[in-house]
Structure 1
Amino acid sequence: MDQVVITIARQYGSGGRTVGKMLAERLGISFYDKQIIQMASDESGIDVKLFGKVEEGDKVKGSLFGNKESIYKGNLHQPGSKEFISDENLFNYQAKVVNDLAEKESYVIVGRCVNYVFKDRPNTLRVFIHAPWEFRVEQASQKISGSREDIEKFLLKDDKRKQDYYRKFAGGQWSDATNYDLCLNSGKLGFDKCVDAIETQLKIMLGK
């Protein structure tokens, strides 16, 4: 297995997506984010809007007490099954897409709980990008219009959305460092040094 996959989970406003794109460009490999949703829709024939609803948290409800068990089992329900458009099947089709891609190429991917899907896969580096609250607010204000209060509410809502999504499909805590191989504070390091750190860790992992 020569293909390398770097998964990046990130807090909104931490610049994790930017770091992922910079890393992919430096390594000369593909970068995937929301394209996976369209690819899973094409693969399954299920309306892409249904994937979007789960992605945005419209269908995902988190447990008040947490859930250590993932619903991800990897099995696909076929057309005609009552579970064909279930949350589980929508997630599993995305997992199938990322697995199929990993058989053909190396890539960087953001989100979608791929750190869990690939937790036992060799040649996979699982990264979490976080940042201090003020840094996140400042970064988010460059993309989101509204008052500081509006931006802070958005960040809190997005953190909860990601946590609920991760808890449901991967089990456990999205921000738990034990779910990752490398956790980086982009507010302290800056984006370039985050890329440097990931590249260095990748070389160590591959024995280069």
Structure 2
Amino acid sequence: MNGNLIITIGRQSGSGGKVIGQKLAERMGVECYDKELLSLAAKHSGLCEELFEKHDERPTSSFLYSLVMDSYSMGYTASGYSDMPINHKIFLAQFDAIKKLASEKSCVIVGRCADYALADFPNVVSVFICGDENDKLARMQETYKVDLSKAKDIMIKSDKKRSSYYNYYSNKKWGDPRSYDLCLNSSVTGLDGAVDVILSFAEVKQRWNKEKKQ
């Protein structure tokens, strides 16, 4: 496990975070996991994949959250409970899938509080990708083939959902520089430049971790 390098990507909508993650994985010679995590979590937990898609990166009630965190802190797994609410199972199954991946191999993981799930893993580099408003909107228009107004609506709703999910399940704040190792504006670096910066940063962090142990 200690030899695996895991890069987690949090991202604003339209920032190119997913593409950066894919490019990173290609440069590293590893796999990039985004929605693929839903399939893995479904497979490992025995739950229907459609349930994961329905509840993907969506917060639930405060009561359910307390159940999730209490049980997770005691080390219970998704497969170990038959009576818990479905949202609870889905949350635990995704976290279990993320931890299992990180223990098996190096990879890039986009979204889903992966940095929080892997907080105790030594070789994790947590990154947050942001971007300038005009660039993000232009990318959203291109991706979804919509006008400016619709692109802005999609962006706002998507970021709100991601923020709520992250703030809800982690002990950190989505987009806050203190929540990540590295925050990067893709409008300044470009997508390929962002990959260069992240890989250089990962090398520096790994070297520093080794020096601290000596």
Instruction: Output the TM-score relative to the length of structure 1.
Output: 0.89
The aligned residue for residue 91 of structure 1 is 91
How many corresponding residue pairs?
200
Whether the 8 Å CA contact 1:10–1:111 is kept in 2: the answer is yes
Taking the aligned partners of 2:57 and 2:166, their CA distance within structure 1 comes to 12
Amino acid at match of 1:118: L
Taking the aligned partners of 2:16 and 2:160, their CA distance within structure 1 comes to 18
Q: What does residue range 3-82 of structure 1 map to in structure 2 within 5 Å? A: 3-55=4-56, 57=58, 60-61=59-60, 71=69, 73=73, 75-78=76-79, 81-82=82-83
Gaps of 5+ in 1: none
Point out the structure with the larger helix share.
2
Amino acid at match of 2:49: V
Instruction: Output the TM-score relative to the length of structure 2.
Output: 0.86
1:46 deviates by 0.9
Whether the 8 Å CA contact 2:78–2:90 is kept in 1: the answer is no
Q: Secondary structure at the match of 2:152?
A: helix
Taking the aligned partners of 1:56 and 1:173, their CA distance within structure 2 comes to 15
Q: Secondary structure at the match of 1:127?
A: strand
Gaps of 5+ in 2: 209-214
Whether the 8 Å CA contact 1:116–1:179 is kept in 2: the answer is no
Which sits farther off after the overlay, 75-84 or 108-117?
A: 75-84
Q: Secondary structure at the match of 1:8?
A: strand
Whether the 8 Å CA contact 2:118–2:124 is kept in 1: the answer is yes
Identical pairs, percent: 34
Taking the aligned partners of 2:16 and 2:56, their CA distance within structure 1 comes to 19
1:200 deviates by 0.6
The aligned residue for residue 203 of structure 1 is 203
2:179 matched to 1:179? yes
1:177 deviates by 1.2
Residues 147, 78 of structure 1: CA spacing in aligned structure 2 closer, same or farther, 3 A cutoff? Answer: same
The aligned residue for residue 139 of structure 1 is 139
**Which deviations, in whole Å up to 9, do the C-alpha atoms of 1:32-58 show, x marking residues without a partner?**
11111011111111111111111163x
Residues 137, 207 of structure 1: CA spacing in aligned structure 2 closer, same or farther, 3 A cutoff? Answer: same
Amino acid at match of 1:30: E
The aligned residue for residue 106 of structure 1 is 106
Q: Secondary structure at the match of 2:143?
A: coil
Residues 56, 98 of structure 1: CA spacing in aligned structure 2 closer, same or farther, 3 A cutoff? Answer: closer
Taking the aligned partners of 1:138 and 1:79, their CA distance within structure 2 comes to 45
Residues 62, 167 of structure 1: CA spacing in aligned structure 2 closer, same or farther, 3 A cutoff? Answer: farther
The aligned residue for residue 155 of structure 1 is 155
